[in-house]
Structures are given as C-alpha cells and as structure tokens.
Structure 1
Amino acid sequence: MIKNSHTEHAGGVISYGINRIHCVDESVNEGGGSVTSHDQGIPDFPVVRKWPQRSSSTPWVPGSPDHIVGNLRGLLTEIQSDGTQNRPFAWPASRTSTTIRAAVHSLGSCGLVSKKGDYLELTENAEKFLVDGDAEYLIAVFHSNVRFVGELLAELDTPKTHSDLNNAASEKYLLEWSTLDPVRRRTNWLRAAGLAELWKFENKLVLTDEGRQFRDRIQLVAPGEIPGSSSAQPIDFTLTPPSPGVLAELETLDQAVLAGRKAQWGYIAGGSSLESIQFLVNAFSPETSRSHFIRLCVDQLSVKESSAEQSLNTLRALGFVEQTGPNSFAPTPLAQEWLASGDPVDLVRILHVKVALVAEVLSALKEESDTGAARRWLAIYYPGYRISQIELARRILILKDAGLIERIGHTRYRLTPLGAKFYDSVPLLEPQGTLAGSSGSATKSASDIGQPSELDQQATEVHEAATDSANFSRFESAVAEAFSLLGLEVERHGGPKKTDILLTFWLSPTSRRRVTVEVKTDSAGQINENDVKFDALEEHRKAHKADRAILIGPGFSGRLPQWAKGKGIPLISAGRLATWLTLSTRIRIFPHELYEMIFSGSAPSVWERAERGLEAVNQVTRMLWESGNDEADISFNQGALTVRDIWRMGKADSEAPLAPEEISSALQLLTNPLLSAASEMKGGEYVSTAPPNLIAARLRSFADAIEYGLDFRRSFDMHEKRPESPRMDTGPEDARAESKVLPDRVRQWARENGRPVSSKGRLPNSLVADFLAAQNEEQ
C-alpha cells in the first residue's frame, strides 16, 4: 500500500502521495510541493503536497476548539479498533450519535484515513498522532493535504477578521468560497492547536508565539506559484510532434472513425492520472503475466483482485496493453513509443484516438471554464455520448497532467498555450445534436427523430445478450451497465467463489444494501433448476458480506422459480430488466424504490406510483392554468380551484381519476416557495401563477442546477451584432464555429418573438425546431 512518507534522494526528497509519486526538490516549490529541513531533534512534519493536489475542503468535527481534537482522537481510535463503516458512533464530547461512515465523510481528504475495500484504515500520520498526541503535528498533516491551512497563518502577520481571511483566500489563493464557514473551520483547528487566538472584543484572529514558530517550520505556497494566478511566471509552451506510430493513428481519424471510438474511459486502479497509467503500463514491460500484474496492483495500490482485473481490461481497451500469450501481456507498440518519448501529450493523443470526447473536452472548456457547465456543454453538443461526472473528471485529470489545461478555481479550468496548440493540431468530432445543426432544414435531435436513447439501446443489448451463450461475458457486461444506468454502484467480480456482479443500493446516509448478482445465459432462453447451485449463491453472498442475492437470466423454467422463492432469491428475467430500462426513459426511480421493487415483488406498484405522480402534476398544472384564463371561472371564483374541484374535473377526463391525496401532493409541489407555480388562497382554494411552459422551464433549471451546478448570468452584457453571411457549405472548423453561434441566434429570435427562453442552459428542442422552421420560411 502506498502511504504518505518520504525518503532521502540525491536530488532532494521523493514524496509518496496516495496513488501518486512525485519527485520534489527542496530548493524548488513548483505549485507548493516541497518539504522543509527542520532543526535537529525536532520530528519531521509530513511532506507537503503540491497546491493543485491538496483538497480545498477542511476536515470537520463537531464541537468548539476545546473539544474538536478530543472528538477526532475518539473517531480515529474507534477506526483503529474496527474499520467497519456502517456502524454507530458517538462523538466523545457531546455523545451525539452518527455513523463511522458519516463521520469519516466529514473529514474529507485530510490524510488521516484511507479506504481499503469496504473497510477503513488509519494512515501512518494518523497512527503517529494517536501515539504522540501532538496537535501541531495534526495541523501539519492538514497543511500537507488541505489548502490554506498553513497559508492562513501567513496572513496573520497582523490581526484579521474571518472576513479579511476569506477575502485573502479569494484574491490571493483563488479559493472562491461563498460563506465564511471554510475559514472558520480552519481557524478552529489552529486555535485548538494553540497556534492562533481569537480576540473576541474585536473579533479578530491573532498569531501566537507557537503559531509563528510553526509557520517558520513548514513550506508555504506563495500566491504567485498557484496555477492560474495572474502573478505566475509565464512558461514557454512548445508542442512536440507526435511519434511516428501515433501520427499514423491520428491520420486515420475521419468523422466516421471519431464517431466510432470507445464511449467510456473505464476504471484504472490508482486513478487515471499520468503517473498511474505510466506505472501500470510500465508494469507490463517488457512482458508479464496476468497473475503478476494482479498481485502488483493488490500489493502496491491496495485494490481488490477484481479491480486489478478490471484495470487490465481497461488498459487493453485503451490500446496500451495487448495479449502476447495464453497468460502473458505486454505494452502495445503505441504505448512503447509513448514510454520511450516520455511525452505526456502523446498519451493524450493515444487516448484521443481510442476514446470519445477527450480532446473535445478542450472545446467545452474554451466555452465554459466550470466543469459542471462544461459537462452540460458536452451533453448539448454531443448528445449521443453519456459523459458522467466521473468520466469527465478522468479526462480533466489527464489533460491537466499533460499541461494542456490549468486549474484556476475549485472546479474551474482553462486551456494553457500548449493546450490551445494541441487543440488546433488534432481532428475533432464535429458537434452533433439539435444545437449543432446549422442546415436550412429543421434539424432534430435523436429523441425527436425516433432514434433510441441510451436506456433504450441498453434494453436491446440486455435482451439480445441474454441468449448469446457463446459469449457469456457479454450478458454480464450488459447487466452491469444496465444497473449502472439505473443509478446503482456496480462492481464486476467473477472467478472462483465470487459473484459475477456486486450491487450497492444507497438507501439513506446511514443505510446501504449490498446485493450479489449471479448472471446466467442460455441460447434457448430458459434457465432451469439444473443450471443453478443455490449453495454457491449463498457462499458468494457471504464472501462479499452482502445482504441479499438475485439471479438474472433470459428466462426461467421447471422448478427453479419455486426453489428460488423458497430460498428468498428473486429471479429477474432479461425482459424484465429491459422493461425497467425502457420505463426509465419516461421517469426515473431511486435506488430505494428499485430495492423495494426487487425484494417485495411490487414492481407494478412502484412504477405506477411514479407515473401517477407525473400525471398528477400534469393535470393539476393544466387545470389551474385553464381556470385562471377562463372568463366564467374568473367571474365566479377568481379562477381559483379547490382539491374537490380538480378531482371533479379530472374524473370526467380519465378512466383512473386522481385521488384527492395525489392532487394535494401535486399542489404541495406547485405551491412550494422554491417553485411558486401556484398560490394557496383562503378556504383551501388554489390559483395558478405561471403558464405551464414557464413552470417546466423553471423545473428544468432546478434539474440543471442539481446535475451541473449554478452557472447563471446575473447581469445584461451588450454584445455587438454581426451581419450574417450567406449560408455556404462548411468544413469541420466552420461547422464548429457555427454551432457555437446558433444558441445565441435562437435566444435572440425567441426574445424578438415573445417566446420565453433562458439566458443559459439547454434550449428546448421544440424552440430550436420552431426557429429553424422560421428561417426556412424567410428563405
């Protein structure tokens, strides 16, 4: 297991961070990564990680500065005795109850606790703190893993308020916090260690003598050394040409090849950083066995054997490793070229050839610096690809490690000069989807023209793979991806005495359920009692410490359904799983609902309840709006309706009218102050306050805010209008530029024609179609 430690080296100090290896020179502090020499007899502090690699979140423990160190010690002692996460824990000072998992989550990435499989372990730093009880050493650990801890002490040469410190964090260290809470948490720890004091009458923080001595012993990052700082020294970026093999691959990239690249990056043990990939690919050089690689990953990276196996599959799919014998593997010629050149840009080039939306991320970051907004940009312009937050983070990390982008905030990045040169040097997939269409016809997205969504496509794959018995791993992959799309945590296992798939259902902050999944295929489409060993299923469940087990196959016959029911093992057919995926295109259900559905056998009621909720919101919204615009209703009761009125109106329109309880639930949503789509009057009457299309637009804003974060324009910016040139056939560069202009043209047209439109975010397909149709009529 790689732990935080350091050893002497001729060139300085080699610093070992978790899953990352950095060579740091004592005389150079590139981005804040170095260690200091200490007076003889004073124990060394932990190695300080570079600024970008340190977390911006401060560890939180309840209590005042007098109690937080004791509370932390109690938590670490409890983990030292038993690393199980899902068990109760009470903070020593207040006896407030929580769980080990929740308490550790509040600590963040502070360098005290690491996760090994499903269990928690203390780092060497945490163990040293428990032995010595040195609060200054604890702060040094925080400083080595968290931004603006030691640097905060440097700001206390003169007394400052929390607001002053927050301003310094923003202006000098690019930490844009919206509240004073992050600063207060840091000062609480410093006060607990006796390094700072609070003058309560002036509400200012001051440095103690111990704090000055501590500050002089640690390595601090200067504001000008932070990536993205305006005072940072410029660097001469030179783009090296690709190696011959990589160049040959790049020359094969046309739009068809770019569109056919692997959609998902995949899991890599140790993370998707440049160092991790280089370490793993080097492990195969010149040739090694599967067992040797798995043992290396388990020993050095503290991952499971199944995770190591999955990493091998990912490296093969990415084009870095190839099989050279029945049980031997070696780096591919492309990977060998990259290892020989040592050029990280060649690594990005290889990934761009093999994986979709790698260099295209640079297109998104040219438009949106925030990662949430960039992900939304990719979803709009490349709707055929499902880029999750994790997948985007993997791409961001490798682009940053290669020097193509730099971090300028907590979740904000921008292209470096090298990144701009690289962006212009490689072929990119042309933007797709509704907003990318720039032809004279009313271009529609995949959903508009009847092309299947990702959920529909996966439903088809599940159904077809279930009977492909010659390739059983295909069905396992299809099932794993299906449950991932349904919102579950999925682990692929397989092998002797192991389940095929392990699912984790997140039910609440204190409740999770682990379920083993046995997957069976059959060309005839039926699994019977002779194909299943129930004792083995139970053994697998116990081996993975799972709560339940399920069996999935194309279909089931004979005595198997009866036997499985007696064992409490639900049977899920491929058709049933495919139906869940199809239903999810209309409405999504949550993991706790899916768990209920599987183990209570109440699938119809779960989906029906979710569907009825949609129907209730639809009917109530429409009825309130119609009554609010009906002259007779307005003159009779000011356009207001009661629950009984809505029930009577719906009773005539539906074979299954809404129940009063369903209507009341919809009204609670619409009248919530956050939405304000309806208002409750006296006497239990309700009136509409907005048209349905604007209510839908606001709900979409909530959805975007939840998924992508806040990225709204808050003020008017005047943009100079440019005359539009006649429409001509465009090449890739022209199409890319045109696709960026189209959203602004749609918004301008909508405002001129009195159509409601948001200033940011995804445009409704119907609005874009109307705009394009209007352009056709003008021509």
Structure 2
Amino acid sequence: MTRHQLQRLVRAGLLSREESAFLPSTAAIAWHQSGDLAVLVAALHCNVRFVGEAMDALTSGPRTHEQLLDLAREEFNLQWDTPTPVRDRTSWLAVTGMVELFDRHVHLTDAGRGVLAGIALGRPEPDDTDTFVQLAPSVRAVASLIEQLDEAALRERADGANLYIPGTSANGGTLESLQVLVEASMPSISDAEFVRFVQSTFPKAQTVATARTAKDTLKALGLIQRTSSESWIATPAAVAWVESGEPLDLARTVHAAIAFFGEVLGELDKADRPTTGALAERSVHYLPNREKPLSRSAVNTRLNLLEACGLVTRLSQTAYRTTALGRAFMASLPCFHADDSTSRTPVNAADGPNPDSGSPSGETRQSTSQASDIATELETAARDSANPKRLEKAAVVALGYLGMPGKHVGGNGAADGHVRFGVGASSWVLAIEAKTSATGRVVDQSLFGLAEHRAEIGAQAHLLIGPGFERRMLKEADDDPRIAVIDTGLLAEVVRRQEQTPLTLTQLELLVDPALHAAARGDALRGHWEAQEIRGQLEYALVDILNVEAEDPLEEGGWLDLTSVRRELRTRGYRVGADAVVEALEFLASDRIGVLQRSEQRYRCTASVHTAGQRIRALGHQWAAAAQLHQRTRSSGEAAQT
C-alpha cells in the first residue's frame, strides 16, 4: 500500500500516525474487536464529509448518484465536478450493508436506519449573503489606526510571514492567549520576563526560541511595542481591545499591522472559494514588499484568528467561508487591492538584476512565462472546436515541458501524437487522442480504433485529453485499462505548478497512469504538491529555528539536538517524522547548500534565512548556466564536424 493510500486511511479515521509509523486507530481497533459495522460507519462519518448526511438524504426515499451529487453541491458546499466522490461513499455504505444499489438508485437499508439513529449529523449553515449586520464601533485608539490606512500605509504593513500564537486555536483559545500575553505586558515586561511567562503559561511553548517567536508575533500584530532595548509595553490599541473585550477591535488592530488579513475575507467571498493552499498562493499578490507567497502556516494563523473573531466559518479542514459579519467588517476597512498583472518575483531574486538577461533596468518579470503561455494555449485550444489540430499540438508541447518529449502526428486513421515517458529500457510510449469542445464537455465521440492506433506506433497506453467528457464517454474511457483520461484544466495546472512546485517524473506518472480514474488524478497529484510545499516550509522553518537559537544570548553556541528541533517544529504546527527532519537537515548541511553545521546529533546555523534562500536559488542558476554551456559546446562540435 502506498503512503498516499495510507494517508487517506488516516483522514478516514481508520489509521493514526505516530512519527513515521501508521497504526490502527481506536475506532478501527474497536471495530475489529467487536465486528460491529456500525462502529466502522460511525468512524467514517466522523472523519469524512457527506457519509451520514448521504444516508439521511435517503430516508425520504431512494436517490440517484446525480441527485446526491446535487445535494452535496447545493446544501453542503462540496465542490465536486463528477459523481465519483458520491459513488465512493455509497460503495463503502453498500459494503457495510447500510445501503443497497439497484435500479440506478441508492436505497437505505434497515441496518442503515438503525446506524443513522445513533450518529449526529452535520447540517449545512444557511447562506447569510443577504443578512444585514451592524458592526460594533471601534474605540478611539483603534479607530485612529484605521483612519491612517491610506495606500502607502497599506503597503508598509508587515508581511506577517512567521506568526505563532501559543495555546489552542479552538473554542476562542486564540483570543484568550493573546489577551493573556497583552495583559502580561501591562504596564511593561522585559525580554527575559516575557520568555519565562510564556514558558510557565503554555505547556507546549517551553523553549526560548518558541517564546521569542510568540513575542515577535505580538509585535507583528501591533499588540506590543518596545520601550527600551530590553523591555516591551502593550500598544494603546491592544490596551483598548483588552478593556473593551470586542473581537473586532483586535481584528482592526491586526489588519492595520499585517498584510493579507482583512483581504483574506474578500478572497474567501469569491464564487470559487479557495482552500488554504490556494490562499497561500494568492497571498503574494497582496505583499508588495515580499517576493514569494506566505506559507500555509502563516495563512492558517490568520484564518484561526479571523474565525475566533467570528469573521469566517470553517467548512472543512482546508475550506472557510466569510460570514455576514465578515462581509460587513471587510466593507468597513480600507484594503490593499491585489495586482494580478505582474509577478512580484524579480528577474534575479538572489542578486538583483541579471546582467545576462538583456534587461539592464532590472524590471520585474511579467506573469506570463513559458509555463503560463503553454498552459493558456492548452486551455484555449481545448475549446477551439473549429481547429482540433491546435489542441493536438498544444498537448504534445505541454507534455514535453513536463519531461515527456514527443511528436505531433495528426491526420485521419492515426494517433494525434505520441510522447515518451521515462528514459532507457524502462521508458514507454504514450499515444495521444485530443478532443475539443466549445461547450467544455466532449459528447458522444467514439473511442473505437484507439487500440489500432497504439499498435501502429508501439504505444503501451493512450492519453485521452480534453476539456471534459460526457458521463458515458468518461466511464467507457476510465474502464479501459489502456486509456488515461486527462482534463486539460488539470494538465494546465500541472504545467503552471511545475515552475514553482516541480514534481519528479516518477511523481508525474500519476498524470498519465491508466489505472487511475480521471476524478482521482487531481487529488493524487495534489498530495505530491502538498508534500513538496511542506518540505520547502520545513526547510525554511529549520533554518529559522536554528537562527533564533544562535542569536539567543542565553544559549551558548546555538546548537540544538534533533529532539529539541522537533519540539520547536511541533510548536509551529509541523507534524513530521524524524526521518523527514533529518533528511531536510542533512540537505541544508550539505556542501552544495552549506547553511547548517552538524556535530554528531546536534545542528546549528551558519547563515541567515536570506542567505539560505540565495544559496538554494543559486543552484538553479548554476544548472541553467551549465545547460547553456553544454548546448553551446554541442553546437560547436556539430559545426566543426560539418
């Protein structure tokens, strides 16, 4: 079983994870010992959305999968494009005897009714779009902060890239923790006293580095300020909030202090509501002084704070929605308007303008890049039904960009093209069948003859590429073990992400694997993207933790052992195994990066976070320069032979 499959069982509540080991959960053990399927179904219902709710919908009578899909979309805000997630759930329920599947309908059984009576159902919250909300007026100290937020002040807000609020984020814990820390700063508190207070108040914040991160967070949020080189005092706005007890006063203070706070409400209020990962990617457009997006951890801290203030509501682990109070609050604020026309990344982020780029002014790179151009052409060509060859060529180019070189063929009675996956004897040829549709969904086109096309070019499988496929056609292709269905939207997303979150060819096999159904392909790839993002965030966090330790005057040498490093990571919300931490530490300590030093089982930092970023980016520049040199050398050799 793959790690991805094991993680799915963890999310389903049947496995638990301790370090790098996967163990049966308490619910799984109880089910195994009792043999009671009701225990299994209850565990699934508690951990997976739309299990018990689907059963409840059947109490009024049988329903088709399409009807259940409509219910999931309209009443539970589940953004599913096909009935596949519904079929997965009804298949589980059918195996456990809770439902029966016949006559193209799902029927609730007596066993299902019995289990349903014993579980608590999640009810969708009503859409409060039209609800009018009267905001509590802000106190004077806070109101003055908002009044000063002109365009220049909005741009000068802190990035808030490394936020940590100790304590629990649930049940108002975030507000309580901040209030306790602000009160501790009244009338004033020294650096050493702050560290001791955090360590004595919050059991999970026991190290000096963690306490200092909490202090830096309060400063970034506009809640404390320095009175001397060694002491701090609560800001007037923070004092006013503690006295008023009004959460909106805190939210206003934070919005005035850090970027991408109130602006998050606008992002969440869009029709295509983003997940936390998508919010992290969007954040770069709201950070005029920063070259890269925020980490998910920084975004999650914002969301936890907005939720505690009643401005957003959590729909799932990664999805939130702006509340009526949040909309009214956002409308009352001056907010920074995102500039989506250009990227914030300089031409040469490590060293300023690149002298070899042909851009002496050092201007910023336009958001259109090679990957962006390829992806845009792919999406446009998919709907250009008058020119089908355009999509055929775009698909070959897109797959070539991902490391699968190939050729466009076209013509009647032949494959539209072919690409090669892998290298050497282990490589395999993939035929391409591209289908266009002006409406966005290919309808009733025959797949007859594809096997013959594969045989002509020696292909092991076929890639059926298009903007979407009618249900029967999709099922026919998904059921064929030699056909991999690829939505052009997903292929375009893979191409765009390959610039910032590149996947290896082994990981990209999920894109072209015929064993995967179309609906599962995107989720499988997103698991790899998430792992890549987490790895980058982990490496950054390790350098930052060791930097903080190195600069602490109370700690000699700045050395931390693996146990201490992992404890610090846990306080920042990272739950990773020891092997993953050691692998990241060894990478950062390698000669090619060289920003950490290792002595037996202890590590310390030898460079700043900024320098670490420069070293990692420099590897990319070195590789590009080596590729250019190789190309010139090869061209010169070929010319000499001629």
Amino acid at match of 2:58: L
Q: Distance in 2 between matches of 1:113 and 1:321?
A: 43
1:160 maps to 2:63: yes
1:498 alignment partner in structure 2: 560
1:215 maps to 2:109: no
Instruction: Describe the shift of the 1:514–1:205 C-alpha distance in structure 2 as closer, same or farther (beyond 3 A).
Output: same
1:268 maps to 2:165: yes
Matches within 5 A, 1:533-612: 537-540=599-602, 552=606, 577=612, 579-581=614-616, 583=618, 587=620, 607-608=622-623, 610-612=624-626
Q: Following TM superposition, by how much is the alpha carbon of 1:150 offset from its aligned partner in structure 2, in angstroms?
A: 0.9
2:369 alignment partner in structure 1: none
Q: Following TM superposition, by how much is the alpha carbon of 1:136 offset from its aligned partner in structure 2, in angstroms?
A: 1.8
2:377 alignment partner in structure 1: none
Contact 1:195 1:207 in 2 (8 A): yes
Q: Distance in 2 between matches of 1:184 and 1:518?
A: 43
1:187 alignment partner in structure 2: 90
User: Across the two proteins, how many residue pairs are aligned to each other?
Assistant: 423
Q: Distance in 2 between matches of 1:289 and 1:113?
A: 40
Secondary structure, aligned partner of 1:197: strand
Contact 2:259 2:286 in 1 (8 A): no
2:261 alignment partner in structure 1: 358
Q: Distance in 1 between matches of 2:294 and 2:228?
A: 35
Q: Distance in 2 between matches of 1:336 and 1:216?
A: 50
Q: Following TM superposition, by how much is the alpha carbon of 1:192 offset from its aligned partner in structure 2, in angstroms?
A: 4.2
Instruction: Describe the shift of the 1:171–1:553 C-alpha distance in structure 2 as closer, same or farther (beyond 3 A).
Output: closer
Equivalent position to 1:141, from 33, 43, 63:
43
Instruction: Describe the shift of the 1:492–1:412 C-alpha distance in structure 2 as closer, same or farther (beyond 3 A).
Output: closer
Matches within 5 A, 1:271-286: 275-284=172-181, 286=183
Equivalent position to 1:387, from 289, 293, 299:
293
Q: Following TM superposition, by how much is the alpha carbon of 1:273 offset from its aligned partner in structure 2, in angstroms?
A: 6.6
Instruction: Describe the shift of the 1:581–1:512 C-alpha distance in structure 2 as closer, same or farther (beyond 3 A).
Output: closer
2:125 alignment partner in structure 1: 226
Q: Which moved more, 1:413-422 or 1:185-194?
A: 413-422
Q: Distance in 2 between matches of 1:507 and 1:414?
A: 29
Q: Following TM superposition, by how much is the alpha carbon of 1:336 offset from its aligned partner in structure 2, in angstroms?
A: 4.5
1:543-577 alpha-carbon deviations (Å, 9 max, x no partner): xxxxxx676259xxxxxxxxxxxxxxxxxxx9985
1:370-411 alpha-carbon deviations (Å, 9 max, x no partner): 327766665446554333351344434544553445678997
Q: Distance in 2 between matches of 1:369 and 1:285?
A: 37
- Percent identical pairs in the alignment equals 25
2:107 alignment partner in structure 1: 206
Q: Distance in 1 between matches of 2:211 and 2:287?
A: 31
Q: Distance in 2 between matches of 1:306 and 1:107?
A: 35
1:294 maps to 2:329: no
Q: Distance in 2 between matches of 1:340 and 1:133?
A: 56
Q: Look at both structures and tell me which one has the larger radius of gyration over its CA atoms.
A: 1
Q: Following TM superposition, by how much is the alpha carbon of 1:533 offset from its aligned partner in structure 2, in angstroms?
A: 10
Instruction: Describe the shift of the 1:264–1:501 C-alpha distance in structure 2 as closer, same or farther (beyond 3 A).
Output: farther
1:63-106 alpha-carbon deviations (Å, 9 max, x no partner): xxxxxxxxxxxxxxxxxxxxxxxxxxxxxxxxxx445xx45421
Equivalent position to 2:334, from 427, 434, 437:
427
Amino acid at match of 2:325: L
Instruction: Describe the shift of the 1:124–1:248 C-alpha distance in structure 2 as closer, same or farther (beyond 3 A).
Output: farther
TM-score by length of 1: 0.44
Instruction: Describe the shift of the 1:367–1:138 C-alpha distance in structure 2 as closer, same or farther (beyond 3 A).
Output: closer
Contact 2:159 2:287 in 1 (8 A): no
Q: Distance in 1 between matches of 2:258 and 2:264?
A: 12
1:514 alignment partner in structure 2: 583
1:306-341 alpha-carbon deviations (Å, 9 max, x no partner): 556534442343234578999998865534433443
Q: Distance in 2 between matches of 1:517 and 1:244?
A: 52
Secondary structure, aligned partner of 2:107: strand
1:243 alignment partner in structure 2: 139
Q: Distance in 1 between matches of 2:232 and 2:618?
A: 42
Amino acid at match of 2:158: K
Q: Distance in 2 between matches of 1:348 and 1:164?
A: 41
Contact 2:195 2:208 in 1 (8 A): no
Contact 2:175 2:305 in 1 (8 A): no
User: Which 5+ residue runs of structure 1 have no aligned equivalent?
Assistant: 1-96, 438-444, 454-482, 521-526, 541-548, 555-573, 589-606, 620-645, 658-779
Instruction: Describe the shift of the 1:277–1:552 C-alpha distance in structure 2 as closer, same or farther (beyond 3 A).
Output: same
2:528 alignment partner in structure 1: none
Q: Distance in 2 between matches of 1:324 and 1:111?
A: 50
Q: Distance in 2 between matches of 1:417 and 1:278?
A: 20
TM-score by length of 2: 0.51
Q: Distance in 2 between matches of 1:397 and 1:282?
A: 15
Q: Distance in 2 between matches of 1:203 and 1:650?
A: 67
Amino acid at match of 1:580: R
User: Which 5+ residue runs of structure 2 have no aligned equivalent?
Assistant: 185-192, 345-351, 366-534, 550-554
Contact 2:265 2:330 in 1 (8 A): yes
Secondary structure, aligned partner of 1:217: coil
Secondary structure, aligned partner of 1:139: helix
Q: Distance in 2 between matches of 1:184 and 1:402?
A: 38
Amino acid at match of 1:514: E
Contact 2:260 2:286 in 1 (8 A): no
Amino acid at match of 1:226: E
1:717-763 alpha-carbon deviations (Å, 9 max, x no partner): xxxxxxxxxxxxxxxxxxxxxxxxxxxxxxxxxxxxxxxxxxxxxxx
Contact 2:283 2:294 in 1 (8 A): no
Q: Distance in 2 between matches of 1:104 and 1:295?
A: 38
Q: Following TM superposition, by how much is the alpha carbon of 1:423 offset from its aligned partner in structure 2, in angstroms?
A: 2.8
Secondary structure, aligned partner of 1:205: strand
Q: Which moved more, 1:256-265 or 1:416-425?
A: 416-425
Amino acid at match of 1:206: H
Q: Distance in 2 between matches of 1:215 and 1:374?
A: 36
Amino acid at match of 2:84: D
Contact 1:407 1:414 in 2 (8 A): yes
Contact 1:383 1:433 in 2 (8 A): no
Contact 1:237 1:418 in 2 (8 A): yes
1:193-236 alpha-carbon deviations (Å, 9 max, x no partner): 4322334xx354322212112212223244xx4253xxx69644
Q: Distance in 1 between matches of 2:597 and 2:321?
A: 55
Q: Distance in 1 between matches of 2:197 and 2:23?
A: 25
1:654-696 alpha-carbon deviations (Å, 9 max, x no partner): xxx9xxxxxxxxxxxxxxxxxxxxxxxxxxxxxxxxxxxxxxx
Q: Distance in 2 between matches of 1:212 and 1:166?
A: 21
Equivalent position to 2:78, from 156, 175, 181:
175
Q: Distance in 2 between matches of 1:150 and 1:110?
A: 13
Q: Distance in 1 between matches of 2:250 and 2:126?
A: 22
1:259 maps to 2:294: no
1:450 alignment partner in structure 2: 362
1:626-658 alpha-carbon deviations (Å, 9 max, x no partner): xxxxxxxxxxxxxxxxxxxx96589559xxx9x
Q: Distance in 1 between matches of 2:256 and 2:233?
A: 20
Amino acid at match of 2:293: I
Contact 2:31 2:39 in 1 (8 A): yes
Q: Which moved more, 1:322-331 or 1:156-165?
A: 322-331
Contact 1:259 1:429 in 2 (8 A): yes
Matches within 5 A, 1:30-179: 97-98=1-2, 102-111=4-13, 132=34, 134-157=36-59, 158-179=61-82
Q: Distance in 2 between matches of 1:233 and 1:335?
A: 31
Q: Distance in 2 between matches of 1:329 and 1:293?
A: 14
2:449 alignment partner in structure 1: none
Contact 1:360 1:429 in 2 (8 A): yes
1:418 alignment partner in structure 2: 325
Secondary structure, aligned partner of 2:600: helix
